[in-house]
Amino acid sequence: MSFRPTLNWQRLLAAVVLCSSGMTQPSVAADTLTGTLDWAGLTRLSLPVSGVVQRVAVAPGQIVAAGTELLRLDPAPFDDRLAAASAERSALTRAAAEAKRDAERTQQLFDRTVASESEVQTALIAQEKAAAQVARSQASTRLRGWEKSQSTLKAPFAARIINVLTAPGETVSAELAPTPLITVAQADHLDAVARLTPQQAATLSLGQTVRARVGEGASQKTTQGKVIAISNPPGNAAPEYLLRVRLPAEPNWVAGLPVQLSLPE
């Protein structure tokens, strides 16, 4: 009586043969998403004042600390406007002091019945006008000082320089729509971006921890990040969501590198 292997034994034997011959195929788990790295906190910087670019202090790819000077406009016009406003304020301050003394003298004369009430009122009106002119000049001086401070563009945070969109000699106009001058991103973080089905999006929440594998082959590195956005991009015919996970940056990581995200169970 011959022995005939059952179907389960046949499958097990086939699996052993397949593994020993190296013919197994790697697969991505159903709870793993494939995406790419993107710049975190991408920001287009501009200036709220107009002028001529005098100096650009950075280049694309450079890492800078918060507060680092990125570019500056020619300071001469700002210095001149501030000096003119300061000089006008000084002159008006002296004139206001004299108007006050004149009003006090007129009041004394009125008290001695030498000056009329109309003269007193005229002197008081002149004093008030002089005080208003001083207040306006002080505001103008502060405004000119602010304009001067805004003529230098500084990094708002520790940043990677992505693009420099201007050069020395170019005119910057802030009258209508400020022109982006330098594009920066966070230096200490990158974002992993991947597409989600509605079913996958329903299992995630902001702040959740997600494991990520960045890169390929021997250079692949595992890290963890936090979910910062689960968005539904407009204009998609099918319901689709975009997952954004903030990861700590590593040397040589740039936007566009492949990343695999393991969804929490």
Q: In what order do the strands lie in the sheet with 43-45?
A: 43-45, 182-186, 159-164, 63-64
Distance, CA of 193 to CA of 181 (rounded, Å): 26
Please count the other Cβ atoms lying within 10 Å of the Cβ belonging to residue 219.
Answer: 9
Model confidence band, residue 238 (pLDDT cutoffs 50, 70, 90): low
Residue carrying structure tokens 């959740």: 208
Q: In 3-state terms, what secondary structure has residue 106?
A: helix
Distance, CA of 118 to CA of 89 (rounded, Å): 29
Distance, CA of 75 to CA of 30 (rounded, Å): 59
Q: What is the pLDDT of residues 97-116, one digit of tens each?
A: 999 999 999 999 989 988 89
User: Taking the model in full, what pTM does it have?
Assistant: 0.79
Residue 153 confidence (pLDDT): 98
For the chain, percent of residues with pLDDT exceeding 90: 77
Q: What is the pLDDT of residues 42-69, one digit of tens each?
A: 999 999 999 999 999 999 999 999 999 9
